[in-house]
Amino acid sequence: MADRKPILDNPQATFVNTKFDPNSFCGRKREVVFQNTLLYQLKVLKDTGRYDAFKLKWHPSYSDEPDVPPIPNHLFWDSDVAKWIEGACYFLQSRQHAEIEAAVHELVAMIQSAQQPDGYLNIHFTVVEPTKRFTNLRDLHELYNAGHLIEAALAHEQLFHTGALLRPLERYVDLLHAVLGPAPPQLRGYPGHPEIELALLRLHKATGSPKALALARFFLDERGRPDGVDGRHFYDAGVQRDGPVEAIRMVYVCLLPTECGEVAGKVSVNVHMYGSATLTVPVGDSAVTVKQESEWPYDGKIGFEVKAPEGIEVDVKLRIPSWASEWQVSPDLPADLDIVALARGPIVYCVEDVDNPWDDDHFKSLIFDPASKITETLETDPTTNEKYVSLTAHDGVSFLKTPDHLAMPEASSTAEAGQPGKTLKFVPYYFRANRGGKGHMRVGLRRKSS
């Protein structure tokens, strides 16, 4: 509709509008990240040299041979710092933490000081290879790092409203817009790893920058043009020759915002995620609130309570997940491997040796019968006190005879007879690790032939 006014059309810009119940599944996970993960990540940034890298001093790791040539191991330090700043700022919107906030301010000051006179902002191409700016956009993630710095700047600006990080990144975008483009002497090219495109669109949304919009359009239009750089998409030949490339790169290009809009006294809310939380949608001087109550993801019962000012109609649309109507093992996996995985509602499950101590080969020789009886058990983790549902398959286990096939899940082989009474325990994939054992884990299991 032409008169639609999007008001909550980007999730990163509206995290502050959603409050999770602290006892909900997502609320508990957020608390762990705030209390533990952010501080652990901060320690890692400091211990590895990333934290001080924007001081533009030489670090011994800059001399290391690349693990994946031609990409230097330190190439992503800019984005590692930027992602941490972005995540920290989202949490600081609703919670105070002196140590985290102080680190954000110090990092921003270092980024400011690292910016070059022409606006350029990149650690590797300032310290290690200053003469090779924009010479390998495909592999060296120059624009990928820039994109994450832009997103960090937007999160920082939303929280502090000072321009301390946003202004330097706007200067950097001005430089990129001048250097990269279709008109000579501009350089034609686009990032091998998408990211800056969505960051530029967010920057345009927040600031109205025409240069950010034009640059995003150029990168998107240039990607895959027959008459563009290299004559084709960077990855067409690689896909044809070597098989699939990193799937996340396709997702970056295809990301679309969710939307909550207001049209002439009507608010429309699209609900994509379920769980106990409250969304507040500003409408003029008042607000609409949409409250969810649920034990998701372990119970499908979800209740909604909507409150709105007089005269405001609220339209709530609920996404129907693919798992909502029936639980089943998919019979048509989109791959050639005859493997099967278990899921309960939205939760994907895995097996670990800590629950199945008889395993000694990462479950490579195991053959699973999806027709076996599966039972559910509500359990409580003794370390975190968190509740979860485990799955147990009964009398559905057999093993390959030939050890040579252990590393080849797709290989055909005869199997030994099943072992009566042997069970196979599954736990949620998000719950894996840190519970002991040898670290053996698998999601997709070899399917027993019918």
DSSP, collapsed to helix, strand or coil, labels residue 389 as strand
Question: Given a cut of 80, is residue 259 above it in pLDDT?
Answer: no
User: What local confidence, expressed as pLDDT, does residue 136 receive?
Assistant: 94
Place of tokens 């590393």: 407
Identity (one letter) of the amino acid at 213? L
Q: Rounded distance, CA 92 to CA 240, Å? A: 45
User: Token match 């994450």: residue?
Assistant: 148
Residue by residue, DSSP assigns 8-33 as S--GGGGGGGEEE-TTSHHHHHHHHI
Check residue 240 and give its pLDDT. Answer: 36
Angle at 378 between CA 375 and CA 382, to 5 degrees: 130
Confidence grade of residue 390 (pLDDT, cut at 50, 70, 90): very high
Number of alpha carbons in the 13 Å side-chain half-sphere of residue 113: 12
Which pLDDT score is estimated for 337? 66
Instruction: Share the mean pLDDT of the chain.
Output: 85
Predicted pLDDT at 48: 98
Instruction: Tell me how far apart the alpha carbons of residues 291 and 416 are, in angstroms, rounded to a whole number.
Output: 53
> Is the pLDDT higher at 198 or at 3?
198
pLDDT in tens, 321-368: 777 765 443 445 455 568 899 999 999 999 999 999 999 889 988 999
Least confident of 25-39, 51-65, 266-280: 266-280
- pTM for this one? 0.70
pLDDT > 90: what percent of the chain? 60
Q: What is the pLDDT of residue 233?
A: 47
Type of residue found at 286: S
User: What are the pLDDT digits (tens) for 264-278?
Assistant: 578 888 888 888 999
Q: Helix 38-48 and helix 98-114: axis angle, to 10°? A: 40
Let me know if 352 is exposed, middle or buried by CB neighbors in 10 A (0-12, 13-18, 19+): buried
Q: Is residue 252 very low, low, confident or very high in pLDDT (cuts 50, 70, 90)?
A: very low
Segment 48-66 mean pLDDT: 97
The pLDDT tens digits for 194-244 are 999 999 999 999 999 999 999 999 999 988 776 655 544 444 333 333 333
Tell me the one-letter amino acid at 322. S
pLDDT at position 223 is 84
Q: Could you tell me whether strands 445-447 and 366-368 are parallel, antiparallel, or unpaired per DSSP bridges?
A: parallel
Average pLDDT over residues 419-442: 88
Q: In the chain, where are the structural domains located?
A: 11-242, 259-318, 339-447
Residue with tokens 């949490």: 91
pLDDT for 4 equals: 41
Q: Which residues contact 25 (CB under 8 A, 6 or more apart)?
A: 275, 296, 297, 298
